[in-house]
Amino acid sequence: MAEVIGVRFKNVGKVYYFDPGGVKIKKGSMVVVETSRGVECGEVAMENREVEDSSIVQPLKKMIRPATNEDLKKLAENRIREKSAFEICNKKIAAHKLEMKLVDVEYTFDNSKILFYFTADGRVDFRELVKDLASVFRTRIELRQIGVRDEAKMLGGLGICGRPFCCSTFLGGFQPVSIKMAKEQSLSLNPVKISGACGRLMCCLKYEQEAYLDLLRTTPKVNAIVSTPDGRGVVVDQNLLTGTLKVRLDKAADAAPSSYHVSEVKILRDGRIKVDKSELEQLKALEKD
């Protein structure tokens, strides 16, 4: 076991472990630590606690110090510099006529490097741009091409549910999302309804999936053969959240389906959830990161 604190460098970024060196640090405090890319200032997202050695990426780096007023002032100055660097870089991109969109700029805490995050449809030859930026800022320059999901996380916004993006409010990282998840959650495979503002499958399909899988274990699927209080029939529709089923009874095949609660029926032969190959081909782009 080892005592650690969890530090986050972005608003909803990944939490990294550091050795507090015996100092008690409160959640929300700012600390200065040494990282693989140099000295950084981050927010404590997890107070001192003991964790298993197996969950720590070795070597565990030590916290340098709790952030001082000077450190916080420097952090604020860097935020101002980032806005200026963003404008300068945008002008340079236009001057070099590059097909790329600048998303964010980040100064490292010690100003040893500036990172420019951008999106583009394909590969971009930005070597001349890097030289141009280096001559202006007189420091190391790094350009990182990111995906549309990362862009949405950085910029933020409102989803189709009317709430702020999950990725920019509480999701620390992205998980793979598949068309099968949408099918299992009885959602329409209309790209407009199952994709987020980034144009990829909504993140909520992933973190809600476990609850839907639990419901699927006890709820007959569409085309399942079931026994009802009124006789045997086939499930033609289901609502996993309310537990209601629409069943077409064998003895009244031409009549409208009857409604039952899942507790009222018994599964004789369950159905299967299938995703047609044609549907997969049409929606494959939505699964990309």
* Domain ranges within the chain, ordered by starting residue: 2-67, 73-146, 222-269
Q: Residue 92 is encoded by which pair of tokens? A: 């340079």
Q: Residue 195 is encoded by which pair of tokens? A: 């994709």
Tens of pLDDT, residues 225-268: 999 999 999 999 989 889 999 999 998 888 899 999 999 999 99
Q: Residue 75 is encoded by which pair of tokens? A: 């952090």
Query: If pLDDT is split at 50, 70 and 90, which confidence band does 192 have?
Result: confident
Contact 271, 265 (CB under 8 A): no
Q: What's the CATH class of domain 222-269? A: mainly beta
**What's residue 282's pLDDT?**
67
**What's residue 178's pLDDT?**
87
Contact 63, 32 (CB under 8 A): yes
Which pairs count as long-range contacts for 34-38, CB under 8 Å and 24+ apart, including other chains?
Answer: 34/61, 34/62, 34/64, 35/9, 35/61, 37/108, 37/113, 38/108, 38/109, 38/110, 38/112, 38/113
Q: Report the percent of the chain where pLDDT is more than 90.
A: 48
For residue 99, what are the CA distances in angstroms to 6, 88, 106, 198? 38, 16, 21, 19
* DSSP category for residue 176: -
Mean pLDDT for the chain?
Answer: 89
CATH code of the domain made up of 73-146: 3.30.300
Query: If pLDDT is split at 50, 70 and 90, which confidence band does 39 have?
Result: confident
**What's residue 225's pLDDT?**
94
Tens of pLDDT, residues 84-111: 999 999 999 999 999 999 999 999 998 8
User: Which is it for the CA torsion 32, 33, 38, 41, positive or negative?
Assistant: negative
Which pairs count as long-range contacts for 259-262, CB under 8 Å and 24+ apart, including other chains?
Answer: 260/228, 260/229, 262/218, 262/219, 262/220
Tens of pLDDT, residues 131-176: 999 999 999 999 999 988 899 988 889 888 889 998 888 887 788 8
**What's residue 55's pLDDT?**
79
Q: Residue 201 is encoded by which pair of tokens? A: 């499958």
CB proximity list for 30: less than 8 A, separation 6 or greater? 41, 42, 43, 44, 66, 67, 71, 72, 75
Angle, in degrees to the nearest 10, between helices 127-137 and 69-95: 140
The number of beta carbons lying within 10 Å of the beta carbon of residue 275 is 15
What is the rounded distance in angstroms from the CA atom of residue 100 to the CA atom of residue 141? 17
